[in-house]
Structure 1
Amino acid sequence: MQSKKKRIVVGLSGGVDSAISAYLLKEQGHEVVGLFMRNWDSLLNNELNNPTDYICPQEQDYADAQKVAQELGIELYRKDFVKEYWDYVFKHFIDEFKASRTPNPDIFCNKYIKFSAFLDYALKELNADYIAMGHYAQVRFDESTKEYQLLKGSDVNKDQSYFLSQLNQDQLKYTIFPIGQLTKPEVRDIAKKLNLAVATKKDSTGICFIGERNFKDFLTNYIPAKPGKTVDIKTKEVIGDHYGVYYYTIGQRKGLNLSGFKNPYFVVDKDVAANILYVANENENGWLMHNNCEVNQINWIAKDKPTNLNCFAKFRYRQPDIPVRITFVSDDEIKVETLKSVRAITLGQEAVFYLNDVCLGSGTITKVY
């Protein structure tokens, strides 16, 4: 970003990270405005059986965003992307669960909502030069390649490059992450010194823009329960019942409705056609260890893809970097060989690739072996 004054639209979520992002940009002398996006409607989406007296968490966040805007002296806009979120994020989320895969909606929310629908609106309707978000990540322009790079955030405990791995050159070109070089405690300290209302507000958790829910109960609104048998994969014995294989993920240990066993069980496989949930005793860890996987729906951030490459991968958020060898089978398919066995690589999740602190891109895991 050039040093001269720019008009920057900040995604003001009502949290402390976006608040400090707006503050830092304003301190740098830029013209800063906030934009609050509303992406979920519990009533419209038939989520609530008893809507009386329900207070939408997003409305509470909007009230906090209004407080922040007032405290910082910036203008705040509001825009609904409910339809876009349903069409491009949530429908895919449900379809993947119906196929017995485990998707990551935060990644697609970033790809299609925050850095697409939001970006388009900010550029075209609010005359923005850039947008800014409160993610712990960084953007760098590489003079040698004349391309933008996505880098990990300086705070290794909060780095969110994993969730941004589906962004492309055009999106990174207009994006700023003001807190990417800060740690979470540093962000909190700034907010406390400013006496912002959100200085000690709890970080948001749960599904992107939907928030914390009882996950199984939430899914039953969209995928009806289909009880079946839980089977020990080693002995082939039926040891319990499940609510529906869609509701469980590989490696899951809690909420299996199994009790009275000396050692806990965890999910190792699902047979959708037969409606069987396969589990293994925790002493049978080998059922979850994998060395290879296939990945498609590839987003490679650099323009040129390598034929093959030794790099690192994360198969879930906050997982340590795992050394891998990747081979491009086609522009949209990668074979991944891990240099050590990895536990619970899960269909539908993202494999995100790195070279040192640079995020190279990602794709969806389609086969594990």
Structure 2
Amino acid sequence: MSKIVVGLSGGVDSSVAAATLHHQGHEVIGLTLWLMKGKGQCCSEGMVDAAQLCEELGVPHHIVDSRDTFQANIVDYLVEGYQAGVTPLPCSQCNRTVKFGPMLDYARRELGAEAIATGHYARVRFNETTQRYELLRAVDRNKDQSYFLYDLTQEMLGSLHFPLGEQTKAETRQMAEQFGLHTAAKPESQDLCLIEHHGSMGQFLEKYLAPKPGDIVDTQGRILGRHTGVHNYTIGQRKGLGVAAAYPLYVVALDVGRNQVIVGDRASVHYPDCTVHRVNWVSAAPPTEPLSVTVQIRYRSTAVPATLVPLSAASETEGARVQLVFAEPQFGVTPGQAAVWYDGDRVLGGGIIEPLPVQARVDAALAQASAPT
């Protein structure tokens, strides 16, 4: 059996991951990253629960102060993105730059361990033919978190254990009760820790961005109402616009330069394709020819068929770009969010959806508005 460092948030999932490995006979060491001050599953409350779990299991527990790293890589990244008129997805970046990378470094440097584990619902396997580690969807599709893990490296995958990947959330709860863990009945945490910490993304942004009122206009430039700041809106948003119209309105584009929120009908927010940058090929070598894949453009969306077209030389660096041409136009393709592509259960890769120039987005909206959906 091996020495495994388990990332502990204080929730039931990471608790069961640690308990499972401990009962299998591995030498388990708990590790909690201190990301933010105050209330939250990953902060003060979570650290107490993680420490109590390690006491129950009789294993060591380490806390690493990662607040500066989290501030620079996640908080600043979010604020800059919203200021620029995109809707950033922090989770995949957090997994690579704040969690898995630093955890693995700490495990090797300070604890003499070559393996780490978390309570994520995903799977890893080694492909003997390609000689690559592959990231797979979890067995429980309702809890599958592979979408957030596309940005991991081969080095990270080779050192990772996901003890919950082959089971359902209900089975995890049952195991927590069987193990007698105090976290067995702990409520489910938010998908985004910042929302759990601050109450909402709007309340988080209020701490960093002042209100900047401007006009809400339609795709013809006609003023329909006022907004509180473009950072409070996202592509495809319908609720909270405060504009009356004969038909439902959706956010089509965010014009930071003119401080305008541009809206249109639902058909205006369907897109036949998108360009993705900062691409990472997690399980496969980058292709040189177009590739048929299925794609998720948000965490809770269904994977849809698409053709992936490489736009840069075959590379595994963050400079790689691809175009995704959807089999059918997709609603609310949002700049700053992740597009993740799959071959069945295998995560091939992913990246960040690029913003279109405002006029190009408006032109696309006008074209879609006149076409059947």
Judge same fold: TM > 0.5, yes or no. Answer: yes
Match of 1:148 among 127, 133, 138: 133
Match of 2:260 among 265, 268, 276: 276
In structure 2, the residue matched to 1:321 is 303
| 1:295 partner SS | strand
In structure 2, the residue matched to 1:360 is 348
Match of 1:227 among 186, 193, 213: 213
Q: How many residues are paired up?
A: 348
In structure 1, the residue matched to 2:266 is 285
CA distance in 2, matches of 1:341, 1:61: 42
Amino acid at match of 1:68: L
Task: Structure 2: give runs of 5+ residues left out of the alignment.
Answer: 357-363, 365-373
| 2:203 partner SS | helix
Amino acid at match of 1:174: S
In structure 2, the residue matched to 1:31 is 27
Farther off after superposition, 209-218 or 59-68? 209-218
1:266 matched to 2:250? The reply is yes
Structure 1 residue 87, shift from structure 2 partner = 1.8
CA distance in 1, matches of 2:119, 2:302: 23
Amino acid at match of 1:313: V
The superposition leaves residues 312-369 of structure 1 with CA deviations (integer Å, 9 ceiling, x where unpaired) of 1100002111101011111411011001111000111111010010001111111456
Structure 1 residue 195, shift from structure 2 partner = 2.9
Structure-2 change in CA distance of 1:303 and 1:342 (3 Å): closer
Structure 1 residue 239, shift from structure 2 partner = 2.4
Contact 2:89–2:338 (Cα < 8 Å) also in 1: yes
CA distance in 2, matches of 1:216, 1:244: 11
CA distance in 1, matches of 2:180, 2:2: 26
Contact 1:105–1:208 (Cα < 8 Å) also in 2: no
| 1:211 partner SS | helix
Q: TM-score, normalised by structure 2?
A: 0.89
CA distance in 1, matches of 2:269, 2:249: 12
Amino acid at match of 2:118: M
Match of 1:337 among 325, 328, 350: 325
Farther off after superposition, 187-196 or 154-163? 187-196
Amino acid at match of 1:347: P
In structure 1, the residue matched to 2:151 is 166
Percent sequence identity over matched residues? 38
CA distance in 1, matches of 2:70, 2:156: 18
In structure 2, the residue matched to 1:298 is 279
Give the helix-richer structure, 1 or 2: 2
CA distance in 2, matches of 1:28, 1:114: 24
1:107 matched to 2:92? The reply is yes
| 2:196 partner SS | coil
Contact 1:40–1:210 (Cα < 8 Å) also in 2: no
Matches within 5 A, 1:50-61: 58-61=43-46
Match of 1:217 among 203, 206, 214: 203
Task: Structure 1: give runs of 5+ residues left out of the alignment.
Answer: 43-54
Amino acid at match of 1:87: A
Structure 1 residue 249, shift from structure 2 partner = 0.6
